[in-house]
A and B are shown apart, each in its own frame.
Chain A
Amino acid sequence: MLWQQLANGIAIGSVYALISLGLTMVYGILRILHVAHAGIYALGAYVGLFSFRLIGNFWLSLIVGMAGAAIAGYFVERLLYTPLLHLPRIAPLIVSIGLFTALEEAFRIVAGPHTLAYNARVGLGDLSIGSFHLTETQILILLVTLAILIFLWAFLTKTRTGLAMRACAQDPETTSSFGVNVSAIIAVNFLIGSAMAGAAGVLIGVYDNQVWPTMGSIPAYKALAIVVLGGLGNIPGTVLASIVVGLAETFFIGVLAIPFPRDAVAFVAMILVLMFKPYGLLGKA
């Protein structure tokens, strides 16, 4: 029972991590709260679903969903955020909220208001050891998240571009004086962050077997809570905070059976942590 809840909590926390990482990376490099990121997440789910209907292969649809989200994120950065960077940060924030609402409406117009089934065969099979049971989609989530996190870690720590990205988050001006095209680094940042959100959209689409226009609403504010909890801009902190929130949700609801709204857990955790660690779990002043 305990192990079961642990597995459930980590699986859901993994998806939170995939969504929140893009948000924290964007904050780290541009100091913008990219609310529309949750719209990119839903877009990834839609693109994945429609490509699945066309090609019938789940893994390909995952890749297409990630690519679709990455391209959309890239255009959001180039067309909306970059032109507004010289303004106070409230301007891109308002634009971001507006874009998020517009995206939800666009999904409704294009794909209809109802939930659509994402009934994909992944081909992994369930796993049962005694009373411990992992569904196929949970295994899928864990594997995909693990692969993406390893990729992200290797990219940030082992490549020149990844090093430049970390430097940019600390001091873009000095970074540019070493020959780094900061604008290109920001674009790469959005491509990667958005692709991860797209993967999360596809994974949740398959996990819940549904895709719907407002599927980004709850992740939009929950990811904000997680990112603050992890220490804004802090990548390991965000992964940790995501898992903590995923576990807390499953334990409160599944184990203690407290009649507590699930989606409030992230905020309670955020408030509690901020009372003692104002810069988040792994945050620094």
Chain B
Amino acid sequence: MLEVRGIEVSYGEFLALRGISFTVQEGELVTIIGANGAGKSTILRAVMGLVKCRKGKIFFNEEDITSSPTHHRARLGISLVPEGRKIFPDLTVAENLFMGAYIQEDRRAVQSRMEEAFSLFPVLKERQNQVGKTLSGGEQQMLAIARALMSRPRVILMDEVSLGLMPIYVEETFKVIENLHRQGVTILLVEQNARKALQAANRGYVLETGEIVLSDQAKKLALNPQVKKAYLGGT
């Protein structure tokens, strides 16, 4: 469904991605793990079209989208939960959700998705008329996930969605992710919490300073001694 072939991305002189290739099949949950600054967010931003690739190609359902503008990719069904949540601070919760459903013009469909979002995260319903910046960090994270689902994406890119959440919300968030996966949503997940990510995922890639150094079934990666040592806190 999503195929990335040898992409290179640089920020000025600095080469952040040095020829990255990976695939995500329809219905899969794939995770990319790596240390801070390895380039995980850059990969997701490249897939969304928020940074330009100097080299390489990106295909979505066989269509070459390497040079498509971001809004075009969104219309094809790619959705991003960005790093740092990126809630619109002065829009209300309901308006943030409406923005998530921007490509859906049928108002009734939007309304029913809104109800689904509220049943997924009931707290958002209580807060629907509050502006984004007044939500707590955890509430903003839920809103970011709910907002990215409003467009009924075919693939959803999630960047550190559990970051800064209380353990109970981390559990909750992973439950949501696994549920989405069961419903057949294709997911590309980037996580600091490598243990949880590998538990939930089908396959995983390990990223080190802009290069993919390992790729395998998630279960096997979780048992790999190198991965254990570097990302799962020893043993």
Residues of A within 8 A of B (CB): 160, 163-164, 166-167, 170-171, 173-182
State how many angstroms separate the Cβ of A182 from the closest Cβ of chain B. Answer: 7
Known: A170-B88, A177-B82. A163 touches B99 (CB 8 A): yes
Residues in B neighbouring A177, C-beta threshold 8 A: 48, 50, 70-71, 74, 79-80, 82
What's the Cα separation between A160 and B100 when bound, in Å?
Answer: 11
Assess whether A171 is in contact with B80, with CB atoms less than 8 Å apart: no
Number of A-B contacts (CB under 8 A): 65
What's the Cα separation between A174 and B79 when bound, in Å?
Answer: 11
Proximity bits, B36-70, A CB within 8 Å = 1, else 0: 00000000000010100000000000000000011
Assess whether A178 is in contact with B88, with CB atoms less than 8 Å apart: no
List 12 other contacts, CB 8 Å, given A163-B98, A176-B71: A163-B95, A163-B99, A166-B88, A166-B95, A173-B50, A173-B86, A176-B69, A177-B48, A178-B147, A179-B75, A179-B102, A180-B99
- The list of the 9 closest CB pairs from A to B, nearest first, reads A179-B74, A179-B103, A176-B70, A174-B86, A178-B102, A181-B71, A170-B88, A179-B75, A179-B71
Assess whether A178 is in contact with B103, with CB atoms less than 8 Å apart: yes
Assess whether A170 is in contact with B74, with CB atoms less than 8 Å apart: no
26 cross-chain CB contacts under 8 A: A160-B102, A160-B105, A163-B98, A164-B102, A166-B91, A166-B95, A167-B99, A170-B90, A170-B91, A171-B86, A174-B82, A175-B88, A176-B74, A177-B70, A177-B82, A178-B79, A178-B99, A178-B103, A178-B151, A179-B74, A179-B75, A179-B103, A180-B71, A180-B99, A180-B102, A181-B71
What's the Cα separation between A67 and B86 when bound, in Å?
Answer: 36
Interface residues on B, range: 20 to 34
Residues of B within 8 A of A (CB): 48, 50, 69-71, 74-75, 79-80, 82, 86, 88-91, 95, 98-100, 102-103, 105, 147, 151
What's the Cα separation between A173 and B49 when bound, in Å?
Answer: 10
Known: A177-B50, A178-B102. A166 touches B71 (CB 8 A): no
What's the Cα separation between A271 and B89 when bound, in Å?
Answer: 28
State how many angstroms separate the Cβ of B61 from the closest Cβ of chain A. Answer: 17
What's the Cα separation between A173 and B70 when bound, in Å?
Answer: 9
- The chain B residue sitting closest to A183, CB to CB, is B69
Residues in B neighbouring A171, C-beta threshold 8 A: 86, 88
Residues in A neighbouring B82, C-beta threshold 8 A: 174, 177
The A interface, classified by DSSP as helix, strand, loop or mixed, is: helix
- Residue from the set B69, B71, B90, B103 with the largest chain A CB neighbour count within 10 Å: B71
What's the Cα separation between A160 and B102 when bound, in Å?
Answer: 7
What's the Cα separation between A175 and B74 when bound, in Å?
Answer: 10
What's the Cα separation between A166 and B69 when bound, in Å?
Answer: 20
What's the Cα separation between A164 and B99 when bound, in Å?
Answer: 7
- The chain A residue sitting closest to B157, CB to CB, is A177
Residues in A neighbouring B89, C-beta threshold 8 A: 170
Residues in A neighbouring B74, C-beta threshold 8 A: 176-179
Assess whether A167 is in contact with B91, with CB atoms less than 8 Å apart: yes
What's the Cα separation between A173 and B86 when bound, in Å?
Answer: 10
- The chain B residue sitting closest to A175, CB to CB, is B99
State how many angstroms separate the Cβ of A230 from the closest Cβ of chain B. Answer: 15
- The chain B residue sitting closest to A185, CB to CB, is B71
State how many angstroms separate the Cβ of B48 from the closest Cβ of chain A. Answer: 5
Residues in A neighbouring B80, C-beta threshold 8 A: 177
State how many angstroms separate the Cβ of B49 from the closest Cβ of chain A. Answer: 8
What's the Cα separation between A144 and B74 when bound, in Å?
Answer: 39
What's the Cα separation between A175 and B71 when bound, in Å?
Answer: 9
State how many angstroms separate the Cβ of B57 from the closest Cβ of chain A. Answer: 20
